[in-house]
Amino acid sequence: MIFDAYVGKGIKADTSTGKEIISGLDFYTFYAKIYGSDGKIILNQVLYSRLINGHDFGVSINYNNDKDKNDMLNAFKQSTFK
């Protein structure tokens, strides 16, 4: 749905999906690279989702440089869930 939303607005995007374990829990992942009209990447997105205690839990990390990416991913990956 996210990919279709980008394409429907004429936005060029590359996407992929996967799984990642964080704090012992499996999270579904969605990765997106969003391109500007000049073909350069203007935004990267990483979305994490899973059910926790019957509730839909999601995290969206958006970045455009490696320092911000690393800071946000490190903070999230150090999270604990009960």
pLDDT, tens only, 15-70: 999 999 999 999 999 999 999 999 999 999 999 999 999 999 999 999 999 999 99
Q: How many CB atoms lie within 10 A of CB 48?
A: 20
Q: List the beta bridge partners of residue 50.
A: 57
Burial class (CB in 10 A: 0-12, 13-18, 19+), 3: middle
